[in-house]
């Protein structure tokens, strides 16, 4: 069955970016002039997703407004003859069928996915976090969907990380199936360097089968008393193999982290034709004083 739906959890408090996120969603922080969550949505659309299900919280109205039409702004741009900008913002609202759910339930990253069950139904679907992204060609999610279509079992995106980052992610113990495709035997959450089973971090995006909702009903609170998505995925092992898709031609941007967020803005600024020359000169000038 075709993957048509993607769930984007976006209900967190964004405490790492306080005070900015006191009233503004962390997913709406800009990388240059586009919010982080728009990069995530664009990846999903480029991968064939039709329905974008965003699970929000009480202070996330800006996300809904961003992906909706703004008639007043559109009229203003049209009146001023700013037709290129007009088409750009109109295109945002047309990208997909956007569906919004207010998160309810206990803490944990399984909760927003549980909330999406009535919309998902009996279809396989994707889950992508709303405050980080991988810039890849072909898109990360498209690579994962190709793996799912071949094996019909859950798939998690994976990237290689250095020793310094092993204790920040779930690290997979795997056996290789094909080039860049692995069967996951175990995921060790944030291991110390000497306890890591590999350098393959599994995080960021998932293709899940609808029986994950049966697993959620059996799920008990895990680390920190929260409900964890990876714990539910582990419960599927009786019925499924779980695969890791090592993402090719891509770079991971952990834009939920302050330092990595700044790095992303610098990298994207240096890639922009309208910014890169002056921006590069600026960086070189300030670097002289460091």
pLDDT tens profile 62-71: 999 999 999 9
What ranges do the domains of the chain cover?
Answer: 5-254, 257-290
Q: What is the rounded CA–CA span in Å between residue 1 and residue 253?
A: 30
Q: Which residues of the chain have pLDDT under 70?
A: none
Q: Output the six-digit token pair for 233.
A: 């995925």
Q: What is the CA angle 10-16-18, rounded to 5?
A: 95
What architecture does CATH give domain 5-254? Alpha-Beta Complex (3.90)
Q: What is the rounded CA–CA span in Å between residue 127 and residue 229?
A: 10
**Quick one: pLDDT at residue 166?**
83
51: nearest Cα among 92, 4, 101, 2: 4
Residues 181-218 have pLDDT tens digits of 999 988 877 788 888 888 898 888 999 999 999 999 99
**Quick one: pLDDT at residue 181?**
94
**Quick one: pLDDT at residue 164?**
82
**Quick one: pLDDT at residue 161?**
85
Neighbours of 195 (CB within 10 A): 11
pTM given for the model: 0.92
């Amino acid at each position: 069955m075709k993957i048509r739906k993607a769930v984007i959890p976006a209900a967190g408090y964004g405490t790492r970016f306080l005070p900015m996120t006191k009233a503004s969603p962390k997913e709406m922080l800009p990388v240059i002039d586009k919010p982080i969550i728009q990069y995530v949505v664009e990846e999903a659309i480029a991968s064939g997703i039709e329905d974008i299900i965003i699970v929000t919280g009480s202070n996330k109205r800006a996300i809904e407004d961003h992906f909706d039409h703004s008639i007043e702004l559109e009229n203003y741009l049209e009146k001023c003859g700013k037709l290129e900008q007009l088409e750009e913002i109109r295109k945002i609202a047309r990208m997909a069928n956007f569906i919004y759910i207010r998160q309810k339930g206990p803490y944990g990253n399984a909760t927003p996915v549980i909330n999406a069950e009535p919309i998902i139904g009996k279809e396989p679907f994707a889950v992508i976090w709303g405050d980080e992204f991988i810039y890849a060609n072909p898109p990360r999610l498209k690579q994962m969907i190709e793996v799912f279509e071949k094996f019909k079992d859950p798939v998690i995106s994976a990237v290689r990380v250095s020793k310094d980052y092993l204790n920040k992610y779930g690290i997979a113990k795997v056996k290789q199936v094909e080039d860049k495709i692995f069967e996951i035997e175990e995921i060790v959450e944030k291991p110390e360097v000497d306890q890591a089973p590999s350098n393959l971090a599994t995080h960021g995006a998932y293709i899940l089968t609808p029986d994950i909702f049966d697993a959620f009903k059996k799920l008990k609170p895990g680390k920190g008393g929260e409900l964890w998505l990876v714990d539910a995925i582990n419960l599927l092992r009786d019925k499924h193999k779980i695969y890791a898709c090592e993402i090719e031609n891509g770079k991971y941007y952990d834009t939920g982290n302050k330092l990595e967020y700044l790095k992303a803005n610098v990298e994207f600024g240096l890639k922009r034709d309208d910014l890169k020359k002056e921006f590069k000169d600026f960086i070189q000038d300030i670097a002289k004083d460091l």
